[in-house]
């Protein structure tokens, strides 16, 4: 990889000497079922600007299966990525030759899709003689509040998506402390499975929320992990309890489905509120009472209004500011990848072209394994 070292070193020299006050980065996201490309600019004062943010959803391709099919996703990324990148540069009004770096989500995620994005990014970086940055997808979610809200460190992050459910202290770029994770299903996955077993569409979260609005939370469901010391989650039992309640009431009338959705959503909100409150205690213990009190919620499930309402109540009662980036930046997108890449590039942290795509890539490698976990990251 020596051949590629020169431009990278030149760039980090330039950065260290303070000559690079504006960085423009192309970001690529292909870790799941969104094919996305974006161009983001980072100013010398650390503030960001999105020049373009193109997301091609593959929802139609996977809907019939009730979940993402990895092989279909990888092939679709191959078909869609080139034009997404083209569109992102056109919308940004920028020639690729004028960018300062190329960032791609290199993990965690579905390996086939990751390889498509990482290989494409490396090829562009090599062709242009620009640095390549292998971005951790979770880090990109973790840092996105800096891009959209200009939020400074530290803050508490609740990341809730189809693949992840984590509570993390974000202390700075590359400095994360994982407080809690899920022992089984991710929160979005639990919504998707709940929707499937109730005969609703995919993705399940929005369907469950829509149905819940017509129902009453009248059906008793458990609140797994409530009150536990460590702020971990466990959602598989809740889903199983929902199945039992649904079987008892079969055949399901629309009103019963709505009541089951409302009951499920309320149970989820109770659990998430309790786990987040516990994480707030630990955040204060670790960082002291003077640390900024901000709770950032990211990931697709952050779109759920009921959950936001519950989290807002927790935040207010603890004196935390609730920060939820706009929906387009909560769900998977490439602007957050470009931004994480720019944050790393600004610190001279670039990768060589041998950097691998990684199906698993924990943000906090020092976090002890969560007991009993079928943990995904
Ligand atoms: O972050 P995201 O777009 O993709 C990843 O999984 O990385 O999150 C998608 C997940 C899906 O499981 C979807 O059902 C869930 O977010 N979701 C919701 C809502 N909107 C999306 N869950 C609950 N309520 C919603 N309104
Ligand atoms: Zn994600």
Q: In a 3-state reduction of DSSP, which class is residue 45?
A: coil
Q: Report d(CA 102, CA 28) in Å as an integer.
A: 8
Q: Model confidence over 323-360: pLDDT tens digits?
A: 999 988 988 999 999 999 999 999 999 999 999 999 99
Q: Report d(CA 171, CA 179) in Å as an integer.
A: 13
Q: Is the CB of 113 under 6 A from ligand 1?
A: no
* Burial annotation 295-329 (CB, 10 A radius, 16+ → b, else e): bbbbbbbbbbebbbebbbebbeebebebbbbeeeb
User: Residue 4: which of 135, 134, 131, 133 has the closest Cα?
Assistant: 131
Q: Is the CB of 331 under 6 A from ligand 1?
A: yes
Q: Which helix (H) or strand (E) holds 59?
A: helix 59-63
| The ligand 1 atom nearest the CA atom of 141 | 1
What's the confidence (pLDDT) of residue 52?
A: 98
What's the confidence (pLDDT) of residue 65?
A: 81
286 φ, ψ (degrees, to nearest 5): -75, -40
**N-to-C CA span, the chain:** 29
Interval between CA 285 and ligand 1 midpoint (Å): 31
> At a CB cut-off of 8 Å and minimum separation 6, what does 132 contact?
101, 102, 103, 104, 121, 122, 125, 126, 350, 351, 352, 353, 355
What's the confidence (pLDDT) of residue 373?
A: 52
Strand partners, 233: 182
Q: Report d(CA 268, CA 83) in Å as an integer.
A: 39
- CA distances from residue 54 to 86, 87, 88, 124, 335 in whole angstroms, order as listed: 10, 7, 6, 18, 8
What's the confidence (pLDDT) of residue 57?
A: 85
User: Residue 357: which of 118, 131, 125 has the closest Cα?
Assistant: 118
Q: Which residue CA neighbors atom 23 of ligand 1 most closely?
A: 205
Q: Report d(CA 188, CA 239) in Å as an integer.
A: 12
Interval between CA 263 and ligand 2 midpoint (Å): 26
- CA distances from residue 33 to 67, 74, 221, 300, 319 in whole angstroms, order as listed: 10, 8, 31, 13, 37
Ligand nearest to the Cα of 303, by number: 1
Q: Model confidence over 200-255: pLDDT tens digits?
A: 988 899 999 999 999 999 999 999 999 999 999 999 999 999 999 999 999 999 99
> At a CB cut-off of 8 Å and minimum separation 6, what does 172 contact?
153, 154
Q: Tokens 């490309």 — which residue? A: 37
What's the confidence (pLDDT) of residue 227?
A: 93
Interval between CA 14 and ligand 1 midpoint (Å): 40
Question: Beta-strand (E) ranges in the chain?
Answer: 23-29, 34-42, 48-57, 101-107, 132-136, 155-160, 165-172, 175-181, 294-298, 321-323
What's the confidence (pLDDT) of residue 376?
A: 46
What's the confidence (pLDDT) of residue 66?
A: 74
Q: Is the CB of 36 under 6 A from ligand 1?
A: no
Q: In a 3-state reduction of DSSP, which class is residue 343?
A: helix
Q: Tokens 């979770």 — which residue? A: 138
What 8-state DSSP symbol labels residue 299?
S
Q: Is the CB of 266 under 6 A from ligand 1?
A: no
User: Residue 56: which of 334, 329, 300, 303 has the closest Cα?
Assistant: 334
Q: Which residue CA neighbors atom 19 of ligand 1 most closely?
A: 205
Interval between CA 224 and ligand 1 midpoint (Å): 20
Interval between CA 245 and ligand 2 midpoint (Å): 31
What's the confidence (pLDDT) of residue 11?
A: 53
Ligand nearest to the Cα of 340, by number: 2
Bridge-based pairing of strands 34-42 and 23-29 is antiparallel
Under-50 pLDDT residues of the chain: 1-10, 13-19, 375-377
């Amino acid at each position: 990889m020596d051949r590629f070292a020169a431009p990278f070193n030149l760039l980090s020299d330039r950065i260290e000497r303070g000559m690079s006050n504006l960085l423009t980065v192309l970001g690529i996201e292909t870790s799941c079922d969104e094919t996305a490309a974006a161009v983001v600019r980072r100013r010398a004062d650390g503030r960001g600007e999105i020049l373009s943010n193109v997301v091609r959803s593959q929802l139609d391709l996977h809907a019939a299966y009730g979940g993402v099919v990895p092989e279909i996703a990888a092939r679709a990324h191959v078909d869609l990525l080139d034009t997404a990148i083209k569109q992102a540069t056109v919308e940004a009004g920028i020639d690729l030759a004028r960018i300062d770096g190329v960032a791609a989500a290199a993990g965690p995620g579905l390996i086939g899709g990751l390889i498509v994005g990482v290989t494409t990014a490396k090829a562009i970086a090599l062709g242009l003689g620009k640095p390549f940055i292998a971005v951790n997808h979770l880090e990109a979610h973790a840092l996105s509040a800096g891009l959209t809200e200009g939020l400074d460190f530290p803050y508490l992050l609740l990341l809730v998506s189809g693949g992840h459910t984590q509570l993390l202290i974000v202390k700075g770029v590359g400095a994360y402390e994982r407080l809690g994770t899920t022992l089984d299903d991710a929160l979005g996955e639990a919504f998707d499975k709940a929707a499937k077993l109730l005969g609703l569409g995919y993705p399940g979260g929005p369907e469950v929320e829509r149905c819940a609005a017509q129902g009453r939370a009248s059906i008793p469901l458990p609140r797994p992990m409530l009150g536990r010391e460590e702020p971990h989650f466990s959602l598989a039992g809740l889903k199983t309890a929902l199945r039992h309640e649904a079987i008892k009431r079969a055949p399901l009338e629309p009103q019963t489905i709505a009541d089951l959705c409302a009951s499920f959503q309320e149970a989820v909100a109770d659990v998430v509120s309790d786990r987040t409150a516990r994480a707030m205690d630990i955040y204060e213990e670790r960082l002291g009472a003077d640390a900024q009190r901000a709770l950032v919620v990211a990931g697709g499930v952050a779109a759920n209004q009921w959950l936001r309402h519950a989290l807002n109540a927790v935040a207010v009662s603890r004196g935390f500011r609730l920060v939820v980036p706009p929906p387009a930046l909560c769900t998977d997108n490439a602007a957050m990848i470009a931004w994480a890449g720019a944050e790393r590039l600004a610190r001279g942290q670039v990768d060589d072209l041998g950097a691998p795509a990684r199906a698993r890539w924990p943000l906090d490698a020092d976090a002890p394994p969560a007991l009993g976990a079928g943990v995904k990251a």
